[in-house]
Amino acid sequence: MIPTDADGLDPATAISAKIVIAGGFGVGKTTLVRSISEVPPLNTEAWMTEASEGIDDLSMSGAKSTTTVAMDFGRISLFPDLVLYLFGTPGQPRFWFLWDDLSRGALGAVVLVDSRRLDQSFAALNYFENDSTVPYIVAVNRFEGKLWHDVDEVREALALRPDIPLVTCDARETASTAQVLRDLVVHTMSLAQVPEPRRTRTHA
């Protein structure tokens, strides 16, 4: 069960933290925020039109008809004394300039991955590994409830460092999303500040 204000949260003693939900277009960021937020989530979505063809990558978008143009926002009382404010980043490249502002002051980030099109995750992974000091974990979204590729294969394909947690989730399910956020909090709090070499991901 996910605790809420009604479960005895004391606003005077609770700690709040900002969490970023990042990833490429259509990987499930908006769905994840909606599945966990205890308040009506704020979504800044716009209809995709013919004007975006040639600019936005609409492959594998399926029935998706909207795209996030600024951010998604939600809130969850993950523990009785910890409130997380969730900020979902836009996935389309033309909105990547917003990532710096959305990540500023964040406790940590979840990079959400669609294992059927891993290349969509490279930009977000490179950003948090090379251009940001925000700790992060990687979560493979189980689209249609399926794990399309073995976790070890995904780790190798993404060239993740051994110390970066790689977990799976179903972004539609509250309990699954909550576990991802717990994993992120645990990882963030246990980090040793040891500089790591930088890598750049490229297409095979």
CB-count exposure of residue 152 (10 Å: 0-12, 13-18, 19+): exposed
Look at the pTM and tell me if it is higher than 0.85. Answer: no
Bridge partner list, 76: 84
Q: What is the pLDDT of residue 146?
A: 86
Domain ranges within the chain, ordered by starting residue: 13-41+69-191
Q: Which residue did the predictor score with more confidence, 160 or 50?
A: 160
What's the CATH class of domain 13-41+69-191? Answer: alpha beta
Residue 92 scores a pLDDT above 80? no
Give the number of other Cβ atoms within 10 Å of residue 165's Cβ. 16
Contact 72, 38 (CB under 8 A): no
Mean pLDDT of 108-121: 93
- What is the predicted pLDDT for the residue at 148? 86
What is d(CA 81, CA 188) in angstroms, rounded to the nearest whole number?
A: 17
**Block residue for tokens 């290349």:** 119
Q: What is the pLDDT of residues 116-170, one digit of tens each?
A: 989 988 999 999 999 999 999 999 999 888 888 899 999 999 999 999 999 999 9
pLDDT at 141: 96
Rounded Cα–Cα distance for residues 16 and 29 (Å): 21
Residue 204 CA to residue 200 CA, distance in Å, equals 12
